[in-house]
Amino acid sequence: MRPLGTAAALLLSAAVLLTASPAAQARPDRPAADFPTGSTQTPDGRTLFTDRAGRVVEPRGFNVDKYDETTEADLRSIADRGFTLIRVAISWDRLEPSRGHYDDAELAKLQRLLTWADQDGLLAVIDFHQDVYGPAFGGGDRGIPPWATRDDGLPFVPDPDDWFAGYFQPAVQAAFRHLYDDADLRRWQAEFYTHLASELRGHRSLLGYDLFNEPFGPVNGDPSDPAVLAASSAALEQGRLAAMYQRLIAAIRSVDQRSWLFVEPTVLVGEGVPTQLPGFTDPRQGGPRLGYAPHFYDTAVEDGADWNPADGFIENYTAAITAYPRAHRMPVLVGEWGPPNSRTPGNTELVRRQVAAMAGFASAWTMWYWCQGQGGYCALGTDGQPAPGDGPAFGPYAVALAGRPSQESWAAGSYTVTFRATGGWTELAAPPGARITVTGTRRVTIDRDRPGHPRVRTPQGSEVTLTVSD
């Protein structure tokens, strides 16, 4: 996601109203991220991932953007810092540049990245990415291919200062309508998803698929009218988008029974508008593996403003985000979040508040995004250390919790969780020398043999509070 430009004001106004076998051996110097095989609900209604041992796993990490620009060293650095998850943006047009022809070289790049993730003990979510539909409308190499673009000959006039405004252009509206409605386009899309899932299913690292990035669709009326935008979003989620998701779930399940499949709401959820998506059926054998993958962006910040803590964004977003996944018992993966510039005072506070808020509703998250530079969304500064303001994203947390949490929080570099212990090892991500305290029992074993990856064991049945401080 990039800055929204002036069209963002419209959204802001609207807010008011086959089991796989391992593909590679993980490195022995640190634990591999456990693949979530199930889920559990906390007392407050949150659904969390669980592994085969019943431990709660909460993957965290970063988007790696273009897979051909991500290096083996990038993934190793992500894992070395205690993160366990990457979100990999792929695009249909690059992998299937012409109908029925798959680019083997592009697929090999993606396979190579997942092999690195296998070796580094990471999990990966494949993000079927699009921006303003696809390259036919200036979307670069991200999205639906030109051969699957039907614009009815309608006009498209790009705004160089406001890329998001392209979604409201007549040609783009027509293209989305055809993608949702035309039988051949629906079939071709499903075939692409099936093909890719068949190719990737052998990777240990493959957590699953984010089925469609930041979905959009026809706006029935004047898009400058907030009520029209809200009504069009609801109609899309209840109708065309829901039908697409169910088709794509079936397509992937025809070749992959293991992966988790995540549905995204429209971007209006970021402005406090609850999703109208229905529940979905997972045809896999065994329990469903379906999740909810909203993004966590403040529109004004995306448009270049420094965050105003008094704008109610965190509170409105949290209120909008919780009901749907609780009703359908779905874990929440926040697929994208974070300001374009974390160095300004308001945005520094925004990062802190987002990390704290996600401790209360998210099952996993991936920040946008992993790169090293002077600005933009880069999580690292030019010195390779966390960018000023992004420090909270690098704070300690429980990678795998041997118990069911009743309360979990993050504040000022300190992670705290209260849980009833199952007797196994709780795996932590924490800097060497981090302070670890446990209350509720005197029988505590702390193992610091792996720097940055300590673990804690408490007696089965004990109600304990674990705190890890930088």
Residue 54 tokens, joined: 């019943």
Confidence label for 26 from pLDDT (cuts 50, 70 and 90): low
Residue 436 included in any domain: no
> Is omega for the bond preceding 369 within 30 degrees of 0, making it cis?
yes
Its domain, for residue 318, covers 5-33+74-87+94-356+371-394
Res. 30: pLDDT tops 90: no
With bands split at pLDDT 50, 70 and 90, how would you rate the model's confidence at 373?
Answer: confident
Into how many domains does the chain fold? 1
pLDDT at 12: 47
Where does the pLDDT of residue 5 fall: very low under 50, low under 70, confident under 90, or very high at 90 and above? low
Domain contains 155 = yes
Partner residues linked to 124 by β-bridges: 86, 206
Is residue 53 included in any domain, yes or no? no
Average pLDDT over residues 111-130: 97
CA 87 distance to own-chain centroid = 6
Q: Which pLDDT belongs to residue 29?
A: 62
Task: Find out whether 81 and 55 touch, Cβ atoms under 8 Å.
Answer: no
Residue 270, pLDDT score: 85
Please report whether residue 329 resides in a domain. Answer: yes
Q: What six digits make up the tokens of 82?
A: 């205690």
Q: Is the pLDDT of residue 105 over 80?
A: yes
CATH number at residue 175: 3.20.20.80
Of the candidate ranges 157-171, 205-219, 249-263, the one whose mean pLDDT is the lowest = 157-171
Q: Is residue 351 part of a domain?
A: yes
pTM score, whole prediction? 0.94
HSE-CB for 372 with a 13 A CA cutoff: 12
C-alpha radius of gyration, the chain, whole number:
21
Section 119-127 average pLDDT: 97
Q: Is 19 exposed, middle or buried (CB count within 10 Å of its CB: 0-12, 13-18, 19+)? A: exposed
For residue 243, give both structure tokens.
């039908």
- Counting beta carbons within 10 angstroms of the beta carbon of residue 167, is it exposed (0 to 12), middle (13 to 18) or buried (19 or more)? buried
C-alpha 318/C-alpha 191 separation (Å) is: 36
Is 445 contained in some domain? no
**Residue 57 falls within a domain, yes or no?**
no
Burial of 287 (0-12, 13-18, 19+ CB in 10 A): exposed
Confidence at 240, pLDDT banded by 50, 70, 90: very high
pLDDT (average), residues 54-65: 95
What is the tens place of the pLDDT at every residue in 386-428? Answer: 999 999 999 999 999 999 999 999 988 899 999 999 999 999 9
The β-bridge relationship of strands 260-263 and 290-292 is: parallel
The mean per-residue pLDDT over the stretch 88-92 comes to 95
- Burial class (CB within 10 angstroms; exposed 0-12, middle 13-18, buried 19+) of 391: middle
pLDDT band at 25 (very low <50, low <70, confident <90, very high): low
Identity (one letter) of the amino acid at 127?
D
Mean confidence (pLDDT) of the chain: 92
Residue 66 lies in a domain: no
| Rounded mean pLDDT, 200-226 | 94
Q: What are 144-170's pLDDT values in tens digits?
A: 999 999 999 999 998 888 888 999 999
pLDDT at 23 over 60: no
447 forms beta bridges with 455
Residue 67 has pLDDT above 90, yes or no: no
